[in-house]
């Protein structure tokens, strides 16, 4: 096993010091990036290089990289394409070994740009500088308080390692992920991939201890063979989820004009993903839903789901969604049915979906019932409908004589205890427990449940597709691990 420190990207996302080219006292992309680095409170020295200004954004600037008091570990370059080559030359002379070139105007913009890109890379090679970009939006590694992108990083430090051929895509996920309680472990925008590329990023993230699952946003892969080899080595140990947008007519046309990536027909990518154990997502929503569940729940032993609900419609919708997603609705054993009679009212449907219709005791819904269902040997996964009728509970508490504020507090406390109980159970029994709700997941009561560690999706369709992805990964992993063991035995 290689050491992560040996990966050329290590210093790019874990630099001790940074030199930034392109920040100024006016509105520019470089200035935005300066703001974003400061916003996340990067702890190391940040040297702003500016040929004329003595002070930039209120801090001392250095007229050239030569003047820096130390050799910065990373150069971040946000200058016009024409001067990037000479800037790298100066960096090389100083001894800088890693650079992120944010600037556009290279290969993606035509003949002259292609020439500029070749020259720039030649300069980098001369000095042994490894380059991410050009035409990218940088990287973010919240675990090291590093964010060289154009958006303030507002999500928590997370477990999703991201490689994106669209830079803007990454930054626009910051708020989206934070609403789901998720965050990036490290995210790379690879741009034109003139030197370091997707394959290097994959290899880095495979070794990254903060990364539980790898997300790929692809418009077209260049080093196909190496990409597949890398993926095949990773997927038995760490899930990889990919969104490929270059396969359709529209995606191909748009993607080409954007990064100059080589888009291939959809079926080719489909096959490649399948062979290398990559889970394919069909939309941005699926990409992060799949990452969410893969990083947050144990793997199931099979594809058999039990649905638990307190209300018929959502139960039917979930049963329909599970069927469409290709999951099996297990039949409960007679022991389970027998045990359940203790917890559910006589009107309940003790079939699958288990619809309790009303509560004998609200605590049963998050303890006795799911415990019984999960203990059934025919249950691989539990899908629980989450209503959390906060409005009704607090109305009632008010009616019992509490003040409005007190009623709200008390009902939140009650729901919080139920959430803790379900989360505890999920952890204890080691089978996937997933909630689905038609509430907005950003509501306080749902956030509370997610915060306790329960995976919750908006709507049964998203939950069902995520459970399908989880089961697919479980079987991919089983298959690939047995293959690699065989490989060792026979090799």
Window 260-299: residues binding a second copy (CB under 8 A): 282-285
**Which residue, chain included where needed, has tokens 């594809």?**
303
Using CB under 8 A as the binding rule, whether residue 355 contacts a second copy is answered as: yes
115's CB contacts (< 8 A; 6+ apart) are none
Identify the residue among 116, 307, 381, 476 touching a second copy (CB under 8 A). Answer: 307
Q: Please say which residue, 174 or 343, places its beta carbon nearer to a second copy.
A: 174
DSSP-assigned letters across all residues of 347-405 = TSEESSSEE--S-S-GGGGGTHHHHHHHHSTT-SEEEEE----HHHHHHHHHHTT--HH
Distance CA 299, CA 398 (A): 43
Distance between terminal CA atoms of the chain? 18
Minimum CB–partner distance for residue 275 and a second copy (Å): 22
140, 182 in Cβ contact below 8 A? no
Find the shortest distance in angstroms from Cβ 190 to a second copy: 12
* Closest distance of CB 112 from a second copy, Å: 13
Q: Does 457 help bind a second copy (rule: CB under 8 A)?
A: no
Q: Tell me if 13 contacts a second copy by CB under 8 A.
A: no
Closest Cα partner for 464 from 303, 351, 343, 340? Answer: 303
Span interacting with a second copy, options 90-98, 253-261, 364-372, 418-426, rule CB under 8 A? 253-261
The yes or no reply on residue 435 touching a second copy (CB under 8 A) is no
Yes or no: say if 50 and 63 are a contact pair by the CB < 8 Å rule: yes
Residue of 17, 157, 311, 452 that binds a second copy (CB under 8 A): 311
Binding to a second copy in span 32-71, by CB under 8 A: 32, 35, 39, 57
- Residue from 169, 184, 227, 273 touching a second copy (CB under 8 A): that is 169
Residue 219 found at the interface with a second copy (CB under 8 A): yes
By the 10 Å C-beta count (0-12 exposed, 13-18 middle, 19+ buried), 477 is classed as middle
- Looking at the chain, the number of H-run helices and the number of E-run strands are 18, 21
Residue closer to a second copy, measured from CB, 55 or 179: 179
Instruction: Please tell me whether the peptide bond between 353 and the residue prior to it is cis, using omega within 30 degrees of 0.
Output: yes
Does residue number 442 form part of the binding site for a second copy (CB under 8 A)? yes
Stretch that binds a second copy, among 14-22, 124-132, 251-259, 478-486 (CB under 8 A): 251-259
Among 17, 24, 248, 424, the residue binding a second copy under the rule CB under 8 A is 248
Contact residue for a second copy among 7, 123, 148, 165 (CB under 8 A): 165
The Cα–Cα gap between 152 and 161 comes to 18
Choice from 4, 262, 395, 414 touching a second copy (CB under 8 A): 395
Q: Is 100 helix (H, G, I), strand (E, B) or coil?
A: strand
Please tell me the distance from the alpha carbon of residue 138 to that of residue 148, in angstroms, as a whole number: 5
- Any contact of residue 173 with a second copy (CB under 8 A)? yes
Q: Which of 224, 251, 264, 302 binds a second copy (CB under 8 A)?
A: 251
Closest separation between CB of residue 311 and a second copy, Å? Answer: 4
387 binds a second copy (CB under 8 A): yes
Which C-beta is closer to a second copy: that of 21 or that of 169? Answer: 169
85-124 binders of a second copy (CB under 8 A):
104-105, 109
String of DSSP letters for 296-312:
HSPPPSSSEEEEEESSH
């Amino acid at each position: 096993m290689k050491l992560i420190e040996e990966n050329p990207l290590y210093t790019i996302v874990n630099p001790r010091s940074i030199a930034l080219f392109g920040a100024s006292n006016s509105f520019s992309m470089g200035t935005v990036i300066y703001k974003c680095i400061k916003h996340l409170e990067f702890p190391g020295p940040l040297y702003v290089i500016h040929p004329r200004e003595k002070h930039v954004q209120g801090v001392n600037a250095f007229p050239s990289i030569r003047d820096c008091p130390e050799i910065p570990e990373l150069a971040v370059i946000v200058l016009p394409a024409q001067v990037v080559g000479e800037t790298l030359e100066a960096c090389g002379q100083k001894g800088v070994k890693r650079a992120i070139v944010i600037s556009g105007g290279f290969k993606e913009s035509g003949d002259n740009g292609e020439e500029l890109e070749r020259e720039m890379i030649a300069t980098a090679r001369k000095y042994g500088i490894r380059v991410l970009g050009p035409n990218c939006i940088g990287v973010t590694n919240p675990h090291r308080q590093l964010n060289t992108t154009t958006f303030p990083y507002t999500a928590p430090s997370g477990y999703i390692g991201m490689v994106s051929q669209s830079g803007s895509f990454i930054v626009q996920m910051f708020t989206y992920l934070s609403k789901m309680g998720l965050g990036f472990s490290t995210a790379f925008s690879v741009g034109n991939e003139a030197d370091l590329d997707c394959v290097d990023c994959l290899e880095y993230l495979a070794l990254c201890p903060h990364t539980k699952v790898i997300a790929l946003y692809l418009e077209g892969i260049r080093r196909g063979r190496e990409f597949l080899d890398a993926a095949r080595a990773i997927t038995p140990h760490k899930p990889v989820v990919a969104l490929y947008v270059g396969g359709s007519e529209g995606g191909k046309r748009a993607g080409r004009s954007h990064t100059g990536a080589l888009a291939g027909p959809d079926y080719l990518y489909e096959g490649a993903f399948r062979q290398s154990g990559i889970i394919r997502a069909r939309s941005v929503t699926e990409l992060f839903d799949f990452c969410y569940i893969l990083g947050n729940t144990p793997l199931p032993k099979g594809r058999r789901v039990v649905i638990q609900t307190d209300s018929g419609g959502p139960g039917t919708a979930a049963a329909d969604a599970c069927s469409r997603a290709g999951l099996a609705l297990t039949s409960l054993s007679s022991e389970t049915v027998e045990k359940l009679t203790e917890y559910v009212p006589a009107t309940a449907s003790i079939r699958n979906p288990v619809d309790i219709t009303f509560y004998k005791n609200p605590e049963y819904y998050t303890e006795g019932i799911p415990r019984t269902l999960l203990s059934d040997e025919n249950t691989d996964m539990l899908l629980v409908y989450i209503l959390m009728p906060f409005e009704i509970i607090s109305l009632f508490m008010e009616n019992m004589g509490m003040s409005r504020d007190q009623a709200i507090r008390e009902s939140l406390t009650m729901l919080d205890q139920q959430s803790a109980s379900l989360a505890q159970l999920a952890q204890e029994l080691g089978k996937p427990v997933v909630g689905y709700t038609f509430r907005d997941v950003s509501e306080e009561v749902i956030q509370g449940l997610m915060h306790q560690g329960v995976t919750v999706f908006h709507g049964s369709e998203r939950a069902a597709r995520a459970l399908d992805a989880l089961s697919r990964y479980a079987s991919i992993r089983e298959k690939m691990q047995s293959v690699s063991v065989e490989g060792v035995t026979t090799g």
